[in-house]
Chains A and B, each alone.
Chain A
Amino acid sequence: MRLADSRRRLRAAVICLALLLSLFGGRLLQLQGLDATAYATEAAKGRMTTVTIPATRGTITDRNGIALAATVDAFDITADQTLVQHPRATAAALAPVLRLPAAALEATLSGTRRFVYVAKGVSPDVWRRVRDLNLSGTDGLPGIFGEPTSRRTYPAGTVGANLVGFVGADGHGLGGVEYALDKSLAGTDGKITYERGPGGRRIPTGETVGRDAVPGRDVTLTIDRDIQWMAQQEIAAKVKETGAKSGTVIVMDPRTGDLLAVATAPTFDPANPGAAPEAARGNRALTEAYEPGSTGKVITASALIENGAVTPDTPIDVPNRLRRAGKTFKDFHDHPTQKLTYTGTLAKSSNIGTILAAEKLGLPRLYPYLKAFGVGTPTGLGLPGEASGAVLPPSRWSGTTGYTMAFGQGYSVNAVQMASVFATVANDGVRVAPRLVAARAGADGTMHATAPSPRTRVIRPATAQTVRLMLETVLGEGGTAPLARIAGYRVAGKTGTAQRFDPTCSCYRGFTMSFIGLAPVDKPRLVVAVTLQAPKSGIGGGSTGGPVFRDVMSFALQTLHIPPTGTRPPGLRIERN
C-alpha cells in the first residue's frame, strides 16, 4: 500500500511537472516564435531614437566669395510650462541672457501647456549660457529646453537684399535668388536612428541606421559686394533727396553680361522682411517696366547709322514744334529753330530732331532693332516677377506710335533690359545676355562656372563705335549731362526724362529720369544705368541721374582697377553755324 502510494505520488508529480513544463514551453514558443517581432519592436522603440539631420542651406556669395546669405547653427528655446516651478524666478534669470522683458517671459512660462516657444533662433552661445543658468539648488532651469535648428543670416545686411531675397519661417526662399534657386539651395534633410542609453549617449555596439543629409548647394553671384553697396548708398540718397517713388542702379560688364550691381531703393532688411512693405522686397530693376524716354534714342541712332540713313554730321534743322499724325511734338525746352548735326540732336536730346532723322530710314524699320536689342524679351535671369516690357509690331501701331518710339516712348522696358541695350553698344554691337549666377556647386560641393551667356550680333562694330562717339558729346559742352563727367576718363552716356505712365490713374503723370553711360568710350569696360521713378524735384535725367552715375562709375572703375585709356575724343560737331 505504501509503495503503491508513493509510486502514484511520483506519477502525479511527473505529470504536474510535465504540464508545467509544456506550459512554459508553450509560452516560450508564443514569446519567441509568434509575438517575437512585436515585442522586439516595442523594446527597440524604448531604446531607439530617431533624429532628423537638417540639411544645411547653401551659401550665396558675391563674385569674390564674400557671403551674402549664409546659414548658421541656432537654437529655439522652448518651455514645458508644467515643469517650470517658479515662473517668476525663471523669467528673471532668463531675461538678461535672452534680452527679453522679464514680464513677458513670465507670462510665457506660466500655464499648463506642455510646449511653448520662449525664443527662436538664438545663437548657440546664448543657449549655452541659458543651459548654465540655475535656480538655487537645481541643475539648469527645470522645464526649459533647447532645440537645435538653423538660422539664415545675411552678413552684408541690406547689401544686395532685393537680389538675394529672403527666406520664410520654414527656411525656404520667398524672394530673389533664395526663391529662384530654392531647390538646389535647400538640400535634402537626412535622419538617423540609433540605440541610446538612459543618459542619451549612443550605445556603442547598438544598431544604427539612417541616411545622411544632402547639404544645399552654394551659389556664387556675379555681384561685387562693394560696388553693390556703393550703388545702393548713392541711389538711396538720391531717392531721398528728390522725393522719388523709387530708384535703381545697375552696373554691368558689357563683355560678359555679368551684373556687378543691381541696386534698388527703397530696400529692406532680409533678416526682418516683414517690417518692409511688399513693394520694397521685390527687385524693381526687373519687376518694374517703364517707358525709357530719351535713353531709347540710342536704339534709333544705332538703326540709323547701321543703315547709313544718317552720319554723325548729317545736318538737321530742328523747329520748336513739329506736327505729325495729328499731334504736335515738342522738345523738353522751348527753343528757336536750331541748326544741329545728327550728333547734336542726341547731345541736346531733341525729340523733333530724332523724329526728323528717323524718317530718313522709315519708322517701321526701327522695330526689328528694338527687338534685337532685347526690348520685350525676358532677360533670362530667372528671378521671380520679371516684367519683360512690351513693344508693338508696326502692324498694330496707331498714328503716333512710330514717332514716339523713335524717342523712347510708346514701348516699355525694365531697367536691366535698358542697361543691356547700352552694354550691346559698349560691346561693339554684340549683345551678351545679362547674367547673375557666376558659379554653382555640383553634387560634390565643388564650384562649376555657369555657361557664358549667349551672344548675338545686333549692329556692326563700326556702328557701335560711332554711336559711342556721338554719345560722348552728351557729357560735353552743350550736352545734357555735364554732371556725369569723370575727370581723366572718356565717358559716353544718354540722359532720359520720360513721361511716366502711372497705372493707378492709367494716365501719364510725373517723369522717369535716367542716365545710362559707359566708360571708357574707346575700350568700354563698364555700363552704369541710373533710373529714378517719379522724382518730385530735379529737372532731368542729367541733373538727377548724372551725379549718381559719376559716383558709382568712379567707384567701380577704382574697385576694378580700370585705368583711363589716355586718348582724346575726336570732337564731333553738334551745332552748325
Chain B
Amino acid sequence: MSPAEAARAAASLPTPGPARPPSARPGLRPRLSVVPPLRGPAPRAPFVLLVGGLLCFGLVALLFLHTAIAEDSFRLHDLTARSTVLADREQALDQEIADVAAPARLAARATALGMVPSENPAFIRLSDGRILGHPQPGRAPVVKAKPSAQPSGKPSAAAANRTQRKPTSGASSTPVPAHR
C-alpha cells in the first residue's frame, strides 16, 4: 500500500454516508488526517516471568512430590520397623502367657499354694440346689503315685495348706456341712 492509497483509505473511512468509489469523482482530493500511531511490540517481561514462574512452580511441585514420596518411603520404613518390633514383642508376650498358663506350671503353683487335686467330682444343680456326686474334702496326696523324695517338703506343704485354709475357713464353713 502506497502512502497515497493509505491516506485515501484512511480518509474515506471516517466519512459518513454511502461510500463512493474513488474513481467516481476523480477530481476530488481526499481529506487527510493523522494516522494513529502503530502499537509498539508487546512488552517481553511478563511473558518471561510467566514462563519462568510456571517452570519454577513445576520444578517446586515436582520437588515437593518427590520429597513427599521419599518421606512416605522413609515413614513406611520406620513404621515397618516399629511394627516388626511390636509384633516381636507381642509374640514374646504370647509365649510368656503360654508358659505361665501351661498345665504343668499351674499345677506346680497350685501345689505350692497347698491345693490338692479333687478326687471326687461333684456339682450343685442351680435349679433345685441339689448336690450331685459325693464331694469330699481334699486330702494331701500322700498315697499319690509320686513318692516325695525329701521328707522336709511334706511338713512345709502341710503348713502351707493350713495357713492357706485358715483365713478362708470362716467364710467357707457354712456351705461345707450343707454338702453332707
Contacts and interface: CB of A to CB of B under 8 A. Distances in A.
Interface in B127-155: 132-134, 136, 144-146
A123 B69 CA distance: 33
A226 interface: yes
B5 interface: no
B123 interface: yes
B123 A561 contact: yes
A128 B87 CA distance: 13
Contacts of B73: 201-202, 204
30 contacts: A67-B98, A123-B88, A124-B84, A125-B88, A128-B85, A156-B98, A156-B103, A157-B104, A201-B73, A229-B103, A230-B103, A234-B145, A237-B145, A488-B120, A488-B121, A488-B122, A489-B121, A550-B119, A551-B117, A554-B118, A554-B119, A554-B121, A557-B121, A558-B118, A563-B123, A563-B125, A563-B132, A564-B121, A564-B133, A566-B132
A159 B102 CA distance: 9
Given A124-B84, A124-B92, A489-B133, 5 more contacts: A73-B91, A488-B120, A550-B119, A554-B119, A564-B132
Interface in A148-183: 153, 155-157, 159
B69 to A, nearest CB: 5
A550 B85 CA distance: 48
Contacts of B134: 487-488
Contacts of A201: 73-74, 77
Nearest to B135: A488
Interface of B: 69-70, 72-74, 77, 84-85, 87-89, 91-92, 95, 98-99, 102-104, 107, 117-123, 125, 132-134, 136, 144-146
Contacts of A564: 121, 123, 132-133
Contacts of B85: 128
Given A204-B70, A204-B73, A229-B103, A155 B95 contact: yes
Given A201-B73, A488-B132, A488-B133, A555 B117 contact: yes
A157 B77 contact: no
A475 B73 CA distance: 74
A270 to B, nearest CB: 14
A547 B132 CA distance: 22
Contacts of B122: 488
B121 A72 contact: no
Interface in A200-251: 201-202, 204-205, 225-226, 229-230, 233-234, 237-238, 240-241
Contact of B121 (A67, A202, A558): A558
Contact of B103 (A159, A238, A240): A159
B175 to A, nearest CB: 17
Contacts of B144: 237
A204 B69 contact: yes
A55 interface: no
A486 interface: yes
Contacts of A153: 95
A130 B69 CA distance: 32
Q: Top 10 nearest A-B pairs by Cβ distance?
A: A488-B133, A155-B98, A237-B145, A229-B103, A124-B88, A488-B134, A563-B123, A487-B134, A563-B132, A558-B121
